[in-house]
Structure 1
Amino acid sequence: MTTVLITGANRGIGLEFVKQYAGEGARVHACCRNPDKAEALNALKGDIVIHGLDVSDFAAVKALGEKIDEPIDIVVANAGAGGKDAGDFGDIDFDAFSRLLQVNTLGPVATLEAFAPHLKKTKGKFAAISSTLGSIENAGGYAPAYSTSKAGLDMAMKSYAALLAADGVAVGPFHPGWVKTDMGGPSAPVTPEESVAGLRQQIAAMKPGAPHLVAYNGEVLPW
């Protein structure tokens, strides 16, 4: 049986990851900040274990890693923060900027550190959900704080991928596309079902070593 852990599992593509993996018989550890309020997640059928987790609480992430005592094949670090970025230049809200870094950059790193021992047992895969907005080459001034947090995530994943390759663990960032979710909005052209189906194909193809920033449709994007 495949065992998967997913953060940010209560809505959007995180919820769709749970639905698709559990629907194929995987055991899924689904993590979200407020399980009692996650009605859609609680309604899903399958071998699903729900955990309360805020990925910016690094001690809690570590504790969950110690609590879950079983090998894990795939970790999807999906939890992320967006919102209104961090204000305009000249009036930057540094608390908001810091929050984006805590959730989008450091949260996945804490998750990787906590669950690397589980992944080493299976020579598993760690997929971090990033964004094309994290591409330094394509940066154009839109949502600079959010973009910075995702660029930091990409750098962290590429760096730690090199450290974990010898253990057979594949690590990499993925762009889910512009997805029709609460964050992406109703005008987005990609459905959660399409995005996650494509992402799962890309995750299945992951190999240990130097990763690329890969889109859900297989396109390799510039760093």
Structure 2
Amino acid sequence: MTTQQTMMITGANRGIGLEFVKHYLQLNWHVVACCRTPETATELTSLIDDYQQLDIFELDVTDYEAVDELATTLQDMPIDLLINNAGYYGPKGAALGATDEVEWRKVLEINTIAPLKLVEAFRKQLKSGQDATVACLSSKMGSMGDNSSGGSYIYRSSKAGLNAIGKSLAIDLLEDSVKVVILHPGWVQTEMGGPNALIDTTQSVVGLIDVISNLTIAETGHFYDYRGVEIPW
């Protein structure tokens, strides 16, 4: 008999995060869904009525004391998949010369620092998981090789930093037999992506799950889009 697998995800209240929760529940995974304000996440919390294997926790990913407290609460729970999904774009349309350094720090805190702190806090649980994987939701906008339009300094730098973290994690977690993958979800119709985006959350998440589920240890530390196409650094 196969033991039920456990997936933990941040930013689970809407968009891509919520879609991940729905799909892994349908795949009969135990899902640990984290978001800042569960009391306002009505679509997420309503899933509890149909899925007993869903646990929801209040978590601000930049509150590292709270992150450590949750890791202590879940210290005996093996985690097979950790999805660092919570993200923040910051100000849009800011021209060169008008960089908001306060917002920049906020974006870096959420997009770059917090994902690493989550892995540090839950490393023991990942090491105990079955063929465990860390998936970091990044963006092609963090790719140097793909940057042909310039601008977007704040968001690009945060995701480029996340890519570097993911690459180092892939090397350092080999000793734990934990895989790491950096993912570009596509331009998705979410609050961040806007209504003119090219694909919906279902198309993105179905593709991302396929990439995650077929990842081998030889592919750890690589950067793929939702179709499984490798993206240049």
Q: Which TM class, normalised by the smaller chain length? A: over 0.9
Q: Which position in structure 2 is the counterpart of 1:188?
A: 197
Secondary structure of the residue aligned to 2:193 is coil
- Is residue 2:131 matched to residue 1:128? no
Q: Which position in structure 1 is the counterpart of 2:99?
A: 92
- Deviation, structure 1 residue 160: 1.3
**Cα displacement string for residues 77-103 of structure 1 (whole angstroms, at most 9, x for unaligned residues):** 100001425943323211100001000
Does structure 2 conserve the Cα–Cα contact (< 8 Å) formed by 1:85 and 1:96? no
Residue identity opposite 2:204 in structure 1: S
Alignment of 1:168-183 (within 5 A): 168-183=177-192
Alignment of 1:72-221 (within 5 A): 72-85=79-92, 87-122=94-129, 123-139=131-147, 140-208=149-217, 210-221=220-231
Does structure 1 conserve the Cα–Cα contact (< 8 Å) formed by 2:68 and 2:121? yes
- Is residue 2:64 matched to residue 1:58? yes
- Deviation, structure 1 residue 137: 1.6
Residue identity opposite 1:62 in structure 2: D
Q: In the aligned structure 2, how far is the partner of 1:115 from the partner of 1:30?
A: 14
**Cα displacement string for residues 98-128 of structure 1 (whole angstroms, at most 9, x for unaligned residues):** 0010000011101111111111112400001
Q: In the aligned structure 2, how far is the partner of 1:165 from the partner of 1:109?
A: 16
Secondary structure of the residue aligned to 1:220 is coil
Q: In the aligned structure 1, how far is the partner of 2:103 from the partner of 2:94?
A: 8
Root-mean-square deviation (CA), in Å? 1.3
Secondary structure of the residue aligned to 1:10 is coil
Residue identity opposite 1:37 in structure 2: T
Q: Which position in structure 1 is the counterpart of 2:28?
A: 25
Structure 2 stretches of 5 or more lacking a match? none
Give me the identity figure in percent.
41
State how many pairs are aligned: 223
Of stretches 80-89 and 143-152 in structure 1, the one that deviates more from structure 2 is 80-89
Q: In the aligned structure 1, how far is the partner of 2:217 from the partner of 2:118?
A: 18
Does structure 1 conserve the Cα–Cα contact (< 8 Å) formed by 2:67 and 2:118? yes
Q: In the aligned structure 2, how far is the partner of 1:110 from the partner of 1:206?
A: 23
Structure 1 stretches of 5 or more lacking a match? none
Q: In the aligned structure 1, how far is the partner of 2:144 from the partner of 2:64?
A: 27
**Cα displacement string for residues 61-92 of structure 1 (whole angstroms, at most 9, x for unaligned residues):** 12211111310110111000014259433232
